Structure 1
Amino acid sequence: MAEAVPEPVRTVRVRYFAAAAEAAGREEEHVTVEATAGALRAWLSERYGPAMEQVLDAGSLLVDGTVTRDPARPLRSQIDVLPPFAGG
């Protein structure tokens, strides 16, 4: 059985908006993680705790301009953490 190969590690710019910025205590930072959206979500949850988990559960990630909830989505250079938006 072949051993799973981990995704390459990548440093990305993460920008936080509204409730995500409140949970992170900052508007942006550079993060080095395995290069998938799921790895970033796990890292953010571990680092910033329940407040960030709530944002991630209800919101979404914008990876180089494309909204994704796919944990296998490869990361690129910039990720935006977006809280849920009210319609109207």
Structure 2
Amino acid sequence: MTTLPEQVETAVQVRYFAGARAAAGVPEETVRLAGPATVSDVIAAVLELHGDGLSKVLPACSFLLDGVAVRDRLAEVPAEATLDVLPPFAGG
């Protein structure tokens, strides 16, 4: 009997703030990706979901992965992680 390898899925809670929230049209959502995923994979998935509006905002955004600033977009995203999308904020 042959057994198939178990399908690995990475579920990531994506939270949008300020202009990113307006562009996405939702405050947060769960993004599911097949296999291990990187921050870049999650970004590509949300761009596919939300299109042009979000594509204009994301280049200026910074990201927090489980509360830690993301410097390397090729960083692996653990299952059940939270990715915060933060556009530049005015004020101080």
Distance in 1, Cα, partners of 2:67 & 2:10: 18
Judge conservation of contact 1:55–1:84 (CA < 8 Å) in 2.
no
Q: Which runs of 5+ in 2 are unaligned?
A: 1-7
Deviations 1:12-69 (A, max 9, x none): 1111111111111111111112511000111111211122112210011110111214
What amino acid does structure 2 have at the position aligned with 1:9? E
Partner of 2:9 in structure 1?
A: 9
The two structures have a TM-score, normalised by structure 2, of: 0.76
Instruction: Please state whether the residue corresponding to 1:81 is helix, strand or coil.
Output: strand
Identity %: 44
Matched, 1:42 2:44: yes
Distance in 2, Cα, partners of 1:39 & 1:11: 12
Judge conservation of contact 1:15–1:81 (CA < 8 Å) in 2.
yes
Aligned residue among 77, 82, 85 for 1:81? 85
For residues 50 and 12 of structure 1, do their structure 2 counterparts lie closer, same or farther at Cα, with a shift above 3 Å needed?
A: same
Judge conservation of contact 2:64–2:83 (CA < 8 Å) in 1.
yes
**Count of aligned pairs:** 81
Matched, 1:20 2:20: yes
Partner of 2:5 in structure 1?
A: none
Q: CA RMSD in A?
A: 1.7
**1:40-79 map, 5 Å:** 40-76=42-78, 77-79=81-83
The two structures have a TM-score, normalised by structure 1, of: 0.79
Structure of greater Rg: 2
